[in-house]
């Protein structure tokens, strides 16, 4: 009897492997092999110069040396980080505030469904279409300039896309609008998870709303805040659609809104696979480290298994 | 706001003031979320001439004419729509079905590498597709799949984030005893998965289908590298093309209609299903 059960268990469990076949096959072919060949490419000189194809020749770490000594990469890294910070700081502040309000049982806000629906909406919008819309709205003869002149804020159209900081602000603002709803919902889920008896105890002790927020909510929310921050940073490093469409791929003015992925996209389009490979490896290492931090913090995999 | 249930007397006014502030801030934020779509809608209904004369908040009557001009123009917009639909629907269907299968393998069976594979999938969940784009592009070239939808659809079978969500849902909604019962009744493993398990996973699969559909619909980076043939391009690529064409030569009415055309299908689907989607975000990403 015992033997028979054991035999059955083994024969069932082979189905675990069978059901994993599609995932593993597709993952290996379309993710692991490309990752491997991307890394291999980073050690080869391989580009087109006019009609001449140069390479592929093995050059060791030359691509990396060229990449890091050219200075361009640091400019684009800085651009990416600046625009990420400009979008993330208001995003986390607004999300914390809204999350606290939505989850506050004493406040009992009405129409929460409506507000949550509205703030999450921009997250689902096609980023390229949203950027095209902003480009049209903020263009020199566009409606925003028009409105600002009509109400007397401006005397003549402000060229939003000719100034470094107005372009960056628009990119950051769009990222903010597209992502704060998502962050709010995540933080709110975290706040709802806090033991309500803590709030009740604080209330009995006569704590004010801001005391409760800073002394109870915020410290208990720290793991989720770190999770939100790092995942947002990983997302920020992938920033592409918005600045690409807004500046037509140029990163104008003066390449001040050129992001790392826009730079990668340029290499991919011009088929400079050596430099593109080195840049990809750089991005892979950074996102890999950030992912590990997320992984450690959420402890995924251990508790629910 | 007229409810005075049992607010502490000394804090009653404080609560009311805070509530008022909350509503005002929420109204302002909602305004900044929605105003762009309002302007878009209005401008899509106006002719190029009206648009150059300046902004008014009142819609005009050119929506249909703009739409017809757009169709008659050089952008293959109907093709783009059909292409986007094919890619997004196939991705959503394959991604949810096979992610469910992967989740089921990890959830219902106990085999040697189970834990290792689960940990691996979670570890790679955050790796963005852009960092492997170069090798991916070479692979697609080598397979002769440039201008094909296959490299945009098939990879969605391996979707770690979708897998993780479905695995979480299974853990709390799919008792193993049901699978045992099916076995005793003589149901094969594959049949159990398809006829007993899948129907129970419907709510979670619907949420993930929507998310996959939307991200595929909005995806610009990878399709732009793979689809070069005008007839094969998806909507985001056409939008980018609109941007890189000499802007002022365009009829702005058409530009706005084109943007509206790419955005509003998703908005309508979202408004119909928003309750499930917003819940899905909260459940999917963070535990507890």
Say if the Cβ atoms of B110 and A304 lie within 8 Å: no
Q: Evaluate whether residue B132 is within a structural domain.
A: yes
**pLDDT at site A172:** 95
Q: Is B89 among the domain residues?
A: yes
Given B65, B90, B106, the domain boundary residue is B65
A177: left (phi over 0), alpha (psi -120 to 50) or beta: alpha
The structure tokens listed for B193 are 């998965």
Domain ranges, residue B21:
9-65
Mutate: best of B104, B265, B286, partner A, most A CBs <10 A: B286
Instruction: Note whether B46 and B135 are same-domain residues.
Output: no
Q: Which chain A residues in 140-169 lie under 8 Å from chain B, judged by CB atoms?
A: 141, 143, 146-147, 150
Looking at residue A295, what is its pLDDT? Answer: 76
One domain for residues B45 and B180: no
Q: State the pLDDT at residue B26.
A: 94
- Same-domain pairing of B233 and B125: yes
Given an 8 Å threshold on Cβ–Cβ distance, is B266 in contact with A234? Answer: no
Position B8 scores a pLDDT of 45
Point out the residue among A36, A136, A245 whose CB comes nearest to the CB of B256. Answer: A136
Indicate whether B93 and B114 sit together in one domain: yes
pLDDT for the residue B202: 87
B96 part of a folded domain: yes
B101 & B223 share domain:
yes
Collapse the DSSP code of B124 into the 3-class scheme (helix H, G, I; strand E, B; otherwise coil) and give the result.
Answer: coil
In a domain, B27, yes or no: yes
| Structure confidence by residue, pLDDT tens digits, B117-143 | 998 898 888 888 899 999 999 999 999
CA distance A206 to chain B (A): 10
Mean model confidence pLDDT for chain B: 86
Q: Which domains does chain A have, with CATH numbers?
A: 2-58 (no CATH), 64-298 (1.10.3720.10)
Are B93 and B174 in a shared domain?
yes
Q: How many domains does chain B have?
A: 2
Whole-number pLDDT of residue A27? 95
**Weakly modelled stretches of chain B, pLDDT under 70:** 1-13, 246-249, 282-288
Domain membership flag for residue B261: no
CATH of the domain at B167: 1.10.3720.10
- Alpha carbon B281 to its chain's center: 12
Cα B281 to Cα A286, B148, B285, distances in angstroms: 26, 32, 7
Q: Residue B24: inside a domain, yes or no?
A: yes
Q: How is residue B219 annotated by DSSP?
A: -
For chain A, list residues with pLDDT below 50: 1-10, 301-305
- For residue B115, tell me if it sits in a domain: yes
Rounded to whole angstroms, the Cα distance separating A107 from A110 reads 9
Q: Are residues B29 and B138 located together in one domain of the fold? A: no
Residue B184 lies in a domain: yes
Helices (H), chain B: 12-44, 48-52, 63-72, 77-108, 114-123, 133-142, 150-153, 160-173, 176-184, 189-191, 198-200, 202-218, 221-226, 235-244, 252-285
Indicate whether B54 and B81 sit together in one domain. Answer: no
Give yes or no: residues B153 and B82 share one domain.
yes
Chain A residues close to B282, C-beta within 8 Å: 185-186, 188-189
pLDDT tens column, A135-154:
989 988 888 888 888 888 88
Q: Are residues B44 and B106 in the same domain?
A: no
Residues B157 and B125 in one domain: yes
ipTM attached to this prediction = 0.86
Specify whether B180 is located in the same domain as B147: yes
- Residue B221 has what pLDDT? 93
Phi, psi of A56 (to 5 degrees): -75, 125
């Amino acid at each position: 009897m015992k033997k028979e059960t054991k035999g059955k268990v083994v024969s069932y469990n082979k189905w675990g492997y069978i059901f994993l076949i599609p995932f593993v096959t597709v993952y290996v072919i379309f993710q692991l092999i490309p990752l491997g060949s991307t890394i291999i490419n980073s050690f080869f000189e391989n580009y087109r110069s006019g009609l001449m194809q140069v390479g592929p020749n093995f050059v060791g770490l030359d691509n990396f040396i060229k990449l890091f000594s050219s200075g361009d990469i640091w400019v684009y890294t800085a651009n990416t980080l600046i625009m990420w910070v400009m979008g993330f700081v208001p995003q986390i502040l607004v999300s914390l505030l809204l999350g606290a309000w939505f989850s506050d049982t004493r406040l009992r806000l009405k129409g929460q469904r409506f507000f949550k629906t509205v703030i999450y909406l921009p997250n689902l919008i096609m980023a390229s279409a949203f950027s095209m819309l902003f480009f049209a709205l903020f263009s020199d003869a566009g409606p925003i300039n028009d409105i600002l002149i009509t109400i007397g804020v401006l005397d003549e159209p402000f060229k939003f896309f000719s100034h470094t900081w107005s372009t960056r602000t628009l990119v950051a603002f769009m990222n903010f609008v597209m992502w704060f709803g998502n962050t709010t919902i995540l933080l709110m889920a975290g706040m709802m998870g806090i033991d309500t008896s803590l709030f009740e105890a604080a209330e009995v002790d006569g704590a004010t709303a801001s005391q409760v927020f800073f002394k109870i909510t915020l410290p208990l929310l720290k793991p989720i805040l770190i999770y939100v921050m790092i995942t947002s940073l990983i997302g920020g490093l992938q920033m592409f659609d918005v600045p690409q469409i807004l500046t037509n791929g140029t990163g104008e003015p003066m390449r001040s809104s050129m992001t790392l992925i826009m730079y990668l996209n340029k290499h991919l389009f011009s088929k400079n696979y050596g430099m593109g490979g080195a840049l990809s490896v750089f991005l892979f290492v950074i996102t890999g480290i950030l992912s590990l931090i997320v992984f450690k913090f959420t402890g995924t995999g251990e508790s629910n298994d | 706001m007229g409810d005075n249930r049992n607010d502490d007397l000394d804090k009653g006014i404080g609560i009311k003031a805070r509530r008022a502030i909350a509503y005002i801030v929420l109204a302002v934020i909602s305004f900044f979320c929605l105003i762009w779509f309002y302007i878009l809608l209005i401008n899509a209904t106006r002719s190029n001439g009206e648009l150059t004369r300046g902004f008014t908040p009142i819609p005009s009557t050119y929506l249909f004419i703009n739409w017809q001009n757009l169709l008659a123009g050089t952008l293959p917009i109907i093709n783009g729509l059909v292409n986007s639909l094919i890619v997004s629907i196939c991705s959503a269907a394959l991604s949810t079905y096979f992610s469910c299968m992967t989740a089921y393998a990890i959830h219902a069976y106990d085999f040697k590498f189970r834990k290792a594979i689960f940990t691996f999938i979670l570890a790679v969940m955050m790796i963005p597709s852009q960092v492997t784009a170069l090798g991916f592009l070479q692979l697609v070239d080598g397979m002769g799949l440039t201008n094909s939808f296959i490299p945009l659809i098939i990879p969605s079978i391996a979707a770690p984030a979708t897998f993780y969500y479905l695995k979480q849902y299974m853990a709390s909604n799919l008792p193993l005893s049901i699978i045992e019962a099916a076995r005793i009744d003589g149901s094969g493993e594959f049949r159990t998965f398809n006829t007993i398990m899948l129907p129970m996973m419907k709510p979670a699969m619907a949420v993930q289908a929507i998310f996959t559909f939307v991200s595929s619909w909005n995806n610009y980076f990878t399709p732009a590298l793979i689809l070069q043939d005008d007839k094969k391009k998806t909507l985001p690529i056409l939008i980018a093309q609109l941007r890189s064409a000499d802007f002022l030569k365009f009829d702005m009415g058409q530009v706005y209609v084109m943007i509206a055309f790419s955005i509003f299908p998703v908005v309508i689907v979202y408004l119909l299903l928003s309750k499930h989607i917003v819940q899905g975000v909260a459940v999917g990403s963070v535990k507890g």
